[in-house]
Amino acid sequence: MNTNGNPLIRLEDVSKAFYTEEVETHALSKIHLEINKGDYVSIGGPSGCGKSTLLSILGLLDTPTAGSYLLNGEPVADLDLRERARIRNKEVGFIFQTFNLIGDLTVLQNVEVPLAYRRLNAADRKRLASEALEKVGLPHRAKYLPSQLSGGQQQRVAVARAVAGSPSILLADEPTGNLDSKSGEAVMALLREMHEGGSTICMVTHDPRYANYADRYIRLFDGRIIEDEETRLEERLQIGIAQAV
């Protein structure tokens, strides 16, 4: 964990270009970004603005074409695939729009999957996975298969899987995109609860309602950050009032 006072994440002059034989596409251009431990950040912008590319770089699923990336004070932009995978499994929890649960594994087994790559023994995997399911309110669904759950419940399992290993940061890519409004609100309330419990969250969302759950909003346009500010307190308070009703 970050204990030296430096940002948890620091991007300096990060750019990302994709090349084909005929076209050079710049997905990100000269991104400067700091995320501190305990932040809750939402990233928005129009389709094709670079949101998913930025999240992929933050999650070590992709590498920048230029610039530096420090995670917990360590440079990670130029690591090889194996080292990126090792750090990703330890430091990053992912929550995907499509849940990405394994259909023939139980809920508990799905939550255990990333823990298995840490070479934890079976007893520790089961304990940590069970604790994560308690956090998301689904301990009674541990033996169910994903197909036996609603969409909202499946996303809660995905959140449990993401937090089971106590990662430094949770990266959520359109976590409500496949949910109805009621289930979406419930998942957003859960993420807010995770943040209040100490989790650092960076979320991509196209929905301004959900962007306001975060404490900070970053807007991308044509691969550049054009806005980076705290979300308005009165809107966050309104969300809290609506949840209490």
- Which of these, 121, 114, 54, lies nearest to 88 by C-alpha position? 114
Q: What is the pLDDT along the chain (245 residues), one digit of tens a residue?
A: 444 568 999 999 999 999 887 788 899 999 999 999 999 999 999 999 999 999 999 999 999 999 999 999 999 999 999 999 999 999 999 999 999 999 999 999 999 999 998 888 999 999 999 999 999 999 999 999 999 999 999 999 999 999 999 999 999 999 999 999 999 999 999 999 999 999 999 999 988 889 989 999 999 999 999 999 986 555 555 655 455 43
The beta strands (E) that lie in 21-168 are given as 24-35, 40-44, 66-71, 74-75, 92-95
Flag whether 20 is in a domain. no
Mean pLDDT of the chain: 90
Q: 240: domain CATH number?
A: 3.40.50.300
Flag whether 71 is in a domain. no
Flag whether 152 is in a domain. yes
- 231 DSSP assignment: P
Range of the domain at 186: 37-64+78-244
Flag whether 5 is in a domain. no
Flag whether 188 is in a domain. yes
What pLDDT score was predicted for residue 119? 84
Flag whether 231 is in a domain. yes
Residue by residue, DSSP assigns 145-205 as -GGGS-HHHHHHHHHHHHHTT--SEEEEESTTTTS-HHHHHHHHHHHHHHHHTT--EEEE-
Distance (Å) of CA 20 to CA 17, 54, 126, 135: 10, 20, 46, 45
Flag whether 72 is in a domain. no
Over residues 124-176, the pLDDT tens digits come to 999 999 999 999 999 999 999 999 999 999 999 999 999 999 999 999 999 99
Flag whether 18 is in a domain. no
Computed from CA positions of residues 80, 78, 101, 125, in that sequence, does the dihedral angle turn out positive or negative? positive
How many domains does the chain contain in total? 1
pTM of the model: 0.88
Contact at 8 Å (CB) between 108 and 129? yes
